[in-house]
Amino acid sequence: MKLQINGEPVDIQIGTLADLLEARGFGEAKVATAVNGQFVPASARADFAISDGDRIEVLAPMQGG
């Protein structure tokens, strides 16, 4: 399945957003996620199915100021 993750094309076989985060090394990291411009809360990731062509954004919080 072809996806875009943070603007980078990726070819990966994955079922859910939670699976994708684990496969990409985010595991239990505190991140914000969006699929096709729609915010996906952490509580919904395990049930959020990923489809071919989806655009996924994974954002980590910034520290400092």
For 35-50, give the DSSP string. ETTEEE-GGGGGG-B-
What's the total number of domains in the chain? Answer: 1
pTM of the model: 0.89
Q: Are 36 and 48 in contact (CB under 8 A)?
A: no
Give domain status of residue 64, yes or no. no
Question: Is 49 inside any structural domain?
Answer: yes
Phi, psi values for residue 17, rounded to 5°: -65, -40
User: Has residue 52 been placed in a domain?
Assistant: yes
Q: What is the CATH number of the domain that holds 53?
A: 3.10.20.30
Strands 55-59 and 2-5: parallel
Q: Is residue 39 part of a domain?
A: yes
Range of the domain at 22: 2-59
Using one digit for the tens of pLDDT, what is the confidence trace for 5-59? 999 999 999 999 999 999 999 888 899 999 999 999 999 999 999 999 999 999 9
| Cα 47 to Cα 60: distance, rounded to the nearest angstrom | 21
Q: Is residue 65 part of a domain?
A: no
